[in-house]
């Protein structure tokens, strides 16, 4: 699968609304939608207009913003849901229906044959009402469904010749990358339609599973900003970008406004009242900080030694930490040069040892380190 052909379906305004801290206002949704468009995602998926009167109005408003990014909505495979979704003027409709034994027994209560019949009815109706609308049909809880059931449902829907892509959902986050690869590869061998993959992060595999799906031939990957969603959320946008960057950074830079990624994450973090996790891919506070002496020496010589991702491409900076007991002489020398202080190697070694000794006894700041450097320089001048 070529990266240039991949489409990101960002569902911050649908899956992200299910995050336990989310309560987006209409204004928030417009602001986030415009930010997602500025970053360059191909699709923005919004909450079903049947969820509430405000959801209906918001879906309608977002569909009429005139965004370059396609606005789609996610609905149950119900005729009434389809009628209401069509009223909003969205560019596409994503339908879903559970195929696992758990959801067939405890959710909608339908057999596989009944699922096929219902999906056929709703999909046919939508297409008759608006032949231009983009349609996706997804099985829910795909990885706790039998392969024969999955392929049976997809094959029956495929015979309609209406659906643009099929969705695969790791709804409870139990799939492994190998399982994902095998299923997507098998579907790719059976169907020419696009394939969309939706990964939950309950077991921490969402990014790996999404990348595996892409490698196997998936054309669309679902994300949310910060990975927010039901329970532990889904594939984080920044995480997917980080994974793809190491594959083909040049193509990624052409497709998306990478320098806007941090602002986008800051915006959503502000709206949900949480900080960006310190270890979040690319945009987390710790992402480009270097501390250990052997690391800082190498990074100062060539940043690629310990950075697979260039922070400059995201309008971010790396930090060489010097106010700690692990400080190395190379990082101290680098700081001295930044301050315009000309110090010999043996001076730097002495200063480094002093900083290490002091840092073992108390917390020190960069200003403290600078004071030591200036003081030492003055004493030898």
Kindly list the catalytic residues.
295
Count the neighbouring beta carbons within 10 Å of the beta carbon of residue 191: 18
Count the neighbouring beta carbons within 10 Å of the beta carbon of residue 146: 12
SS3 for the chain, per residue?
Answer: CCHHHCEEEECCCCHHHHCCCCCCCHHHHHHHHHHHHHHCCCEEEECCCCCCHHHHHHHHHHHCCCCCCEEEEEEECCHHHHHHHHHCCCCEEEEEEECCHHHHHHCCCCCHHHHHHHHHHHHHHHHHHCCCCEEEEEEECHHHCCHHHHHHHHHHHHCCCCCCEEEEEECCCCCCHHHHHHHHHHHHHHCCCEEEEEEECCCCCHHHHHHHHHHHCCCEEEEEHHHCCCCCCECEHHHHHHHHHCCCHHHHHHHCCHHHHHHHHHHHHHHHCCCCCCCCCCCCCCCCEECCHHHHHHHHHCHHHCCCCCHHHHCCCCEECCCCCCCCHHHHHHHHHHCCCCCCHHHHHHHHHHHHHHHHHCCCCHHHHHHHHHHHHHHHC
């Amino acid at each position: 699968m070529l990266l240039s052909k991949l489409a990101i379906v960002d569902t911050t305004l649908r899956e992200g609304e299910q995050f336990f801290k989310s309560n987006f206002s209409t204004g928030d949704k417009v602001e986030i939608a415009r930010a997602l468009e500025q970053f360059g995602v191909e699709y923005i998926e919004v909450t079903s207009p049947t969820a509430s009167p405000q959801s209906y109005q918001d879906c309608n408003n977002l569909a009429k913003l005139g965004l370059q990014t396609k606005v789609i909505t996610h609905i149950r495979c119900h005729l009434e849901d389809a009628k209401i979704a069509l009223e909003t003027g969205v560019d596409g409709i994503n339908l879903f229906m559970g195929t696992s034994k758990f959801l067939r027994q405890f959710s909608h209560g339908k057999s596989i044959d009944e699922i096929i019949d219902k999906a056929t009815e709703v999909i046919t109706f939508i297409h008759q009402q608006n032949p231009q609308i983009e349609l996706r049909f997804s099985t829910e809880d795909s990885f706790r469904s039998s392969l024969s059931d999955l392929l049976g449902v997809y094959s029956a829907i495929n015979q309609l010749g209406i659906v643009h892509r099929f969705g695969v959902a790791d709804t409870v986050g139990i799939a492994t990358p190998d399982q994902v690869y095998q299923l997507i590869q098998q579907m790719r061998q059976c169907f020419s339609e696009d394939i969309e993959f939706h990964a939950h992060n309950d077991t921490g595999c969402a990014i790996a599973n999404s990348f595996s799906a892409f490698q196997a031939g998936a054309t669309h990957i679902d994300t949310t900003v910060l990975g927010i969603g039901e329970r532990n959320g889904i594939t984080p946008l920044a995480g997917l970008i980080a994974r793809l960057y190491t594959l083909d950074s040049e193509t990624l830079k052409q497709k998306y406004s990478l320098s806007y990624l941090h602002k986008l994450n800051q915006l959503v973090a502000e709206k949900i009242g949480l900080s960006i996790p310190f270890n979040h891919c690319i945009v987390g506070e710790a992402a480009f900080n270097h501390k250990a002496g052997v690391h800082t020496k190498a990074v100062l010589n060539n940043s690629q030694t310990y950075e697979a991702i260039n922070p400059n491409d995201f309008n971010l900076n790396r930090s060489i930490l010097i106010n700690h007991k692990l400080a190395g002489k190379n990082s101290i020398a680098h700081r001295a040069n930044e301050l315009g202080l000309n110090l010999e190697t043996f001076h730097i070694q002495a200063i480094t040892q002093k900083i290490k000794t002091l840092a073992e006894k108390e917390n020190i700041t960069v200003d403290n380190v600078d004071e030591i450097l200036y003081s030492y320089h003055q004493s030898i001048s």
